[in-house]
Each structure stands twice: as C-alpha cells, then as structure tokens.
Amino acid sequence: MPGGPRALRTPRATTFLLLIFAAGLGPRCQALWVDWGPPSVTVSIGDEVRLLCRHNGSNPNVTWWRILQGNSTWPPMMELSSPGPKGELIIQQVNKSHRGMYRCQVKEGQKIQRSCGTYLRVREPLPRPFLDMGEGTKNNIITAEGIILLICAVVPGTLLLFRGLNLDDCSMYEDISRGLQGTYQDVGSLHIGDVQLEKP
C-alpha cells in the first residue's frame, strides 16, 4: 500500500495536547486569575457605576475593597462582601465620598487573587450652557446674522449711488461745480496794482 504506515502517524502537536488534558492541565485546572481591569473610571455625581471583576473562577467568593487616598496598606476598608451576580460592584448614587481605588479579591478554595485596582473619579455634573442648542442651529443663526449685516451695509449704499448727490444742498461743492474760480492761482502771473507796503 502506498503511504500505509504514514497514515497511522499522528502529528506531535496533537499528541502534546492530549497529554496536557490527560495530566489535568486543561482549562478547568488552570490557576485562578483576575483581570487587571481599567485603571480609572470617571462618573458624575448621582450616576450609577458598575466596576467589573473579571476572573476565571467557577464559583468564587468575590470581595471588593476600597483603598482610601494616602492609605496603601492591605487590607484596606471593605466595601462590599456580596457584590452583584457576576462579581461586579454596583454603586447606585455616586457622591464624592465614593472616590478612591477599588480592588476586587477573588477567593476559590485556597486560591486568592486580587485585581490591580480601578480608581473611581467623581466629578461635578457639567453645567448646562446658557443657550442649549445644536451646532446646526448655531450655524443657521450665524448665517442669518451675516445676511442681515450684508443687507444693512449694501442697501443704503446702493440707494445713495442711484439717488445721486444733490449739489445744491452741498455748499462744499458749490464753487467747484460752478467753476466760479479756479482751484489754484498762479502767484507769479498775478499783477497787483499800486500796492503800498508798510515800512516797519
């Protein structure tokens, strides 16, 4: 048979995986781990916050701890010993006293793991702007203001151009328009009659 003995050989990777599962190193026998979690969460006063504690335990005991500012010793203040169904910490109405670093501790049998911690920031709610309107509405108002300004500047100027100037009402232009005298005089050609100059 061509290739008969080769068909019975199994790849080395498959054999290695079978040995791992046979030795009890499969997913259920792995070491307990806890996800690091986000470094910080920011919420406004009065909001609800959910801090997750992701882990690979099947039925662990999850405890949340809060580290107060300036207190880096363990164990810190216990926050909640029986959190939500998935080990998450739920704070309904957040206020400024909830600020701090939160760490979850997962215990399953004799194994204990802790998260790195998530800092909860609590800020004042943002004030409502004086004119609470969308960007499109603001753009429409600015466009209308521009059109009104253009009309107020162009229309009076156009009316003055088409109306013309009434020169009889403008005394400044009377001498120029009627040509009674020149704008300039030639002083050299000016003949003065018998002019007597005073002696000092």
Render pLDDT for 1-45 as a digit per residue (tens, 0 to 9).
Answer: 555 555 556 677 666 655 555 554 544 556 788 888 889 999 999
Closest CA to 96 of 34, 153, 44: 44
Lowest mean pLDDT among 76-85, 100-109, 119-128: 76-85
pTM of the model: 0.50
- Residues 19, 24, 25, 29: what is their CA dihedral angle, to the nearest 10 degrees? 160
B/e letters for 97-114, b = 16+ CB within 10 Å, e = fewer, are ebebbbbbbbebeeeebe
Residue 187: which pLDDT band, with cuts at 50, 70 and 90? Answer: low
Are the C-beta atoms of residues 143 and 85 closer than 8 Å to each other? no
DSSP label at residue 20: H
